[in-house]
Amino acid sequence: MVAQTDIAKIAFHFDMKRKSSHPPVLLLGSRAGGLFRSQALADAVQRFFTHTRPQTAQEDYFRVAYSFFEQAGYGQSASPHLLKHFLQDVQVAELELNLVALIKQGLFRLIISTNMDSLLEEALTQAGLRNIFEFEVLVPKNGPDFDPDPPGRDVYCQMVKAFGNLSDLSVAEIIKDRRYLDEHLPWKNWLERTLRGEVLAVGLDVDWDQEIMRAFSPSSNLLWFIHDRDVQDEQVVRAAFQGREVRYLVGAEGACGAFFRELCQRLVPSLPPAAPRETLINRIAEQLEIEKAFASLSEQDMFQKTPVLTFYGIGGIGKTALVQYVARRCEHEQMRYIHVEVQNIESLARSIE
User: Model confidence over 98-115: pLDDT tens digits?
Assistant: 999 999 988 999 999 999
Q: How far is 91 from 126, CA to CA, in rounded Å? A: 12
Residue 351's pLDDT is: 52
- Overall CATH class of domain 2-36+89-267: alpha beta
Q: How far is 126 from 35, CA to CA, in rounded Å? A: 21
Q: How far is 103 from 124, CA to CA, in rounded Å? A: 9
Give the CA dihedral 195, 202, 293, 124, nearest 10 degrees: 110
Q: What is the pLDDT of residues 206-222, one digit of tens each?
A: 999 998 999 999 999 99
Stronger pLDDT, 126 or 68, i.e. the higher one? 126
Using DSSP's 3-state secondary structure scheme, residue 50 falls into: coil
Residue 251's pLDDT is: 92
Stronger pLDDT, 40 or 237, i.e. the higher one? 237
Residue 274's pLDDT is: 41
In single-letter form, the type of residue at position 91 comes to Q
Residue 11 has pLDDT above 90, yes or no: yes
* Percent of the chain residues past pLDDT 90, beyond the cut: 37
Residue 193's pLDDT is: 93
Contact 173, 162 (CB under 8 A): no
| pLDDT band, residue 278 (cuts 50/70/90) | very low
* Percent of the chain residues past pLDDT 70, beyond the cut: 76
Q: Where are the domains of the chain?
A: 2-36+89-267, 277-352
Residues 186-201: b if buried by 16+ CB within 10 A, e if exposed: ebbebbeeebbebbbb
| Region for 9 from its dihedrals, namely left if φ exceeds 0, alpha if ψ lies in -120 to 50, beta otherwise | alpha
Residue 238 has pLDDT above 90, yes or no: yes
Among the listed residues 43, 105, 41, the one whose alpha carbon sits nearest the alpha carbon of residue 296: 105
Q: How far is 191 from 89, CA to CA, in rounded Å? A: 31
Q: How far is 172 from 161, CA to CA, in rounded Å? A: 10
Residue 226's pLDDT is: 97
Contact 11, 105 (CB under 8 A): no
pTM: 0.73
Give the number of residues written for the chain: 353
Q: What is the pLDDT of residues 46-100, one digit of tens each?
A: 777 655 554 556 667 888 888 777 776 555 445 567 777 888 888 999 999 999 9
Residue 171 has pLDDT above 60, yes or no: no
In single-letter form, the type of residue at position 266 comes to R
Which residues, in sequence order, are CB contacts of 336 under 8 Å at separation 6+?
A: 330
Contact 127, 104 (CB under 8 A): yes
Q: How far is 48 from 334, CA to CA, in rounded Å? A: 57
Q: What number is the average pLDDT over the span 231-260?
A: 94
Residue 277 has pLDDT above 60, yes or no: no
**Which one of 94-108, 138-152, 270-284 scores highest in mean pLDDT?**
94-108
CB count, 10 Å around CB of 266?
14
